[in-house]
Amino acid sequence: MKNRPITYLPTILISTLIFCGISCSDKPILDSEATQESYFNYTLDSIKDSSQLVLELKDLYRAFKIHNFLEEQKDFVAIDSTLLLISYLNSKAEECDSLYKLYSFHDDSLELLVNDYILATKAQFELKVNTLRFPSSNVPDTNKNKSIPYQNGERAIFLDYLYSKNKNERFLTLSEKEYSKNIDKKQYIKSKKFERYERLKIENPEKAVDKLIEIINDVENFQEKSIYGIDLADFYITETLDTDTILKEEWAVSYYRAIMNAEKYSLYLFEAWIKWRAVTQDFYYGSSKYSSIPNDLYNKWRNRMAFVVLKHVSAHPEDQMAINQFLLFATHQNIKRFGAYKYGNQNVLEFYELFNK
């Protein structure tokens, strides 16, 4: 099981790294816990826009946020101690209590279904605790098979409503062709030095890194900067580079984080976040089904990026690409232990899809 100590670049150094440029020999330094916590004071509630679009997007985001949390109940399979498992399940039941009526939804029907789903999930935790505490032969008949109506009842009704009412067409008129055209990075690359960087990637990878940092420092437009920052971080992951005492994955993580830390809108915030999450999980925590998976950390950054995107949507409600990006943040699943990939956690598949195209 992989569990490396994590080094975080503080806000000032990250900004310097992505916007001002530093030598690749400079080392990341550790954030204090207080500084890390201050990063995450971003809530959708602080966006006071009462337009129908923003209210509906907030509803969607919160509903998926709760669903992702409740789905993590499946992770208890990784706990092999009955006492620890009972303690874990009891804590999850208490967390359900804290979730109940936590959010006010614009859609009253969705709010009702969310709260029914939370209470039903809590009942499932309590049922599992009772099953563990008493031999199966002594479990009351009323407790048996309650998971079947749960799967086909509150949970299923909630998901049916959520997916049927919140199809992309409800928020978007954007065609797949238009999306592909708008997301193409080539149209936003203006630096005349970029072609030289592309050649250096083949001829001299170490010099290519220096060249791209130089380009980043020259550029004023944040969206263009974010393209270069992602390209540089990707380069550390996909190529073999001499990075002295700092491992290439640490550099990649720092560049993705730099983009997220800038608190500015870009078409590529979701790409920066999802790649940061994939590399962080793979490098620091591991790919095993029994590795630590800090979805809470990943979702704090998800929340922060969703805030930046929704604030942009509020100011530019006609921006279909921004709305689409918010939907990506809202609906993307947490990293799961179990799923299609049978030999490790599900980050393995996502990492492969992101970096082995």
pLDDT digits (tens, 9 = 90+) for 180-208: 999 999 999 999 999 999 999 999 998 99
For residue 176, tell me if it sits in a domain: no
260 versus 150: the higher-pLDDT residue is 260
From the number of C-beta atoms within 10 Å of its C-beta (0-12, 13-18, 19+), residue 67 rates as: buried
Report the alpha-carbon distance of residue 273 to residue 270 in Å, rounded.
5
pLDDT at 6 (0 to 100): 61
Is residue 1 included in any domain, yes or no? no
3-state SS class at 105? coil
Where among 133, 166, 199 does a domain terminate?
A: 166
Residue (of 150, 104, 97) closest to 127 by Cα position: 150
Query: Does residue 256 form part of some domain?
Result: yes
Tokens representing 196? Answer: 């030289």
CB-CB contact of 73 with 99 (8 Å)? no
Tell me which long-range contacts 58-61 makes (C-beta under 8 A, separation of at least 24): 58/106, 58/310, 59/105, 59/106, 59/107, 59/110, 60/162, 60/166, 60/327, 60/330, 60/331, 61/306, 61/310, 61/326, 61/329, 61/330
Whether residues 146 and 267 fall in one domain: no
Mean pLDDT computed over every residue of the chain: 85
Q: Is 6 exposed, middle or buried (0-12, 13-18, 19+ CB in 10 A)?
A: middle
Identify whether residues 186 and 120 lie together within a single domain: no
- Whether pLDDT at 44 is above 60: yes
Does 14 score more than 80 pLDDT?
Answer: no
Looking at the structure of the chain, the number of domains it has is 2
Q: Residue 355 in contact with residue 234, Cβ under 8 Å?
A: yes
Supply the pTM of this predicted model. Answer: 0.86
Tell me, yes or no, whether 126 and 208 share the same domain.
no
> Which 8-state DSSP code applies to residue 100?
T
Q: What percent of the chain has pLDDT over 70?
A: 79
Tokens representing 340 are 């299609």
Q: Is residue 174 part of a domain?
A: no
Residues 11 and 66 in one domain: no
Same domain? For 112 and 148 the reply is yes
pLDDT at 347 over 60: yes
User: Would you state the pLDDT for residue 10?
Assistant: 44
Calculate ∠ Cα 55-60-62, nearest 5°: 95
- What is the mean pLDDT of the segment spanning 283-299? 94
In the DSSP assignment, the letter for residue 217 is H
Tokens of 75: 């992770």
- Region 263-267 average pLDDT: 97
Residue 48, pLDDT above cutoff 90? yes
Confidence of residue 139 (pLDDT cuts 50, 70, 90): low
Work out the average pLDDT over 281-310.
95
My answer on whether 278 and 350 are in the same domain is yes
Domain final position from 119, 142, 166 = 166
* Whether residue 136 has pLDDT greater than 90: no
d(CA 116, CA 285): 34
The answer to whether residues 27 and 146 belong to one domain is no
Rounded CA separation 112/158 (Å): 9
Yes or no: say if 236 and 275 are a contact pair by the CB < 8 Å rule. Answer: no
pLDDT at 166 over 50: yes
- CB-CB contact of 70 with 121 (8 Å): yes
Give yes or no: residues 280 and 341 share one domain: yes
- Do residues 187 and 310 both lie within one domain? yes
pLDDT of residue 36 exceeding 80, the answer is: no
Do residues 11 and 78 share a domain? Answer: no
Residue 172 lies in a domain: no
**Residue for token pair 């923003």:** 54
Same domain, 286 and 188: yes
Is 44 contained in some domain? no
1 vs 132, more confident:
132
Q: pLDDT band for position 253 (50/70/90)?
A: very high
> Does 245 map to a domain?
yes
Query: What does the pLDDT read at residue 29?
Result: 27
Q: Are residues 216 and 308 in the same domain?
A: yes
Domain assignment present for 61 = yes
pLDDT digits over 198-243, tens only?
Answer: 999 999 998 999 999 999 999 999 999 999 999 999 999 998 776 5
Q: Which domain holds residue 343?
A: 6-39+182-357
Q: Say what percent of the chain tops pLDDT 90.
A: 65
Given this model, what pLDDT does residue 12 score?
34
Q: Which of 185, 162, 71, 181 is nearest to 110 (CA)?
A: 162
Give the end of a domain, one of 115, 133, 166: 166
Q: Which helix (H) or strand (E) holds 65?
A: helix 52-71
Average pLDDT, integer, range 319-331: 98
Instruction: Calculate mean pLDDT across residues 4-29.
Output: 44
